[in-house]
Amino acid sequence: MMMDRTTKKFMMLRSLFASLLLAATLPAQTASDQHREFPAFKIAGNLYYVGTADLAVYLIHTPEGNILINSDFPQDLPLIKKSIASLGFKYEDTKILLLSHAHNDHDQAMGIMHKETGAKLMVMEGDAASEESTATGRPATHVDRVLHDGDTVELGGSKWIARLTPGHTKGCTTWTTAIREGNRNLNVVIVGSPNINAFPLVNNAEYPEISEDYVKGFAVLHALPCDVFLGAHGSYFGLLAKYEKYKAGDKNAFIDPEGYKAYITEREKLFHEEWEKQKKNPKTPSK
């Protein structure tokens, strides 16, 4: 019995090490990947990838129409439409539009999508005002439903839960669901963003509670059950490397619970390191 437990622990540690090693050796994704065309493909169940080589857009197909998560930039919209069509679905059948967070690389085309499809736009409360603003160059739009932490979005038997994971933006949203694939249920997590970029974490006049919000967000992320690890950027979850495995026949390439844990742990560590630096020197936050 002792040997079984030891072996099990060893296997778990080896799996975690492998995930960390993979993260360290993933193909570097560059700015050019943001707008580079990428093949559309089925992830699991009724969930599909229809984004670019780095800016993730997800399509959920249901008998009552489609849900789209994120819009990318207007220049990416033709690629997104092409990807949806390549899967045999119709862009015009989009009934609900969702968002990871209100930054241009994920939402600048949302107003165009909203107008073209007539879908209902649903956004977390902390990002709703920003989503309706045209100050950052977004086409004007209107939020049809303001979401709060734990709210559900349902269409055609598909149910998604909006989890508030703030910090990157006030309404940064991580989307979760359970999807049936074959004879098993898979917990899917689409991470909004745990990244700190070059944000002031101390004495931030525009977002005074930013650091406390990051702490809350990481607590939520750590508690989420995850089998299928996804995110707002392909670079979060190793899209390029995993897709190569997928193409080679590994239909479980995106099932990566240990990779998810390793990524969240690493992002949280970087956050705390940066926070401590800025506490000592709040006027010059490092990147």
DSSP character string of 160-206: EEEEE--SSSTT-EEEEEEEEETTEEEEEEEE-----TT---SS-SS
DSSP tag of 184 = E
Spatial distance between the Cα atoms of 111 and 226, rounded to a whole number of angstroms: 31
Quick one: pLDDT at residue 31?
Answer: 61
Quick one: pLDDT at residue 25?
Answer: 36
φ, ψ of residue 117 in degrees (nearest 5): -100, -25
Spatial distance between the Cα atoms of 269 and 250, rounded to a whole number of angstroms: 31
What does the longest C-alpha to C-alpha distance in the chain come to?
64
Low-confidence ranges of the chain (pLDDT < 70): 1-32, 283-287
Quick one: pLDDT at residue 33?
Answer: 85
CB proximity list for 6: less than 8 A, separation 6 or greater: none
185 forms beta bridges with 180
Spatial distance between the Cα atoms of 63 and 201, rounded to a whole number of angstroms: 44
Per-residue pLDDT tens over the stretch 232-281: 999 999 999 999 999 999 989 999 999 999 999 999 999 999 999 999 99
Contact of 159 with 126, CB cutoff 8 Å = no
Per-residue pLDDT tens over the stretch 78-100: 999 999 999 999 999 999 999 99
248 forms beta bridges with none
Quick one: pLDDT at residue 14?
Answer: 40
Handedness of CA 26, 32, 34, 38 (dihedral sign): negative
Whole-structure pTM value: 0.88
Query: What does the domain layout of the chain look like in residue ranges?
Result: 34-280
CB atoms within 10 A of CB 93: 15
CATH for 34-280, among 3.60.15.10, 3.40.50.300, 3.30.420.10, 1.10.3720.10?
A: 3.60.15.10
CB atoms within 10 A of CB 119: 22
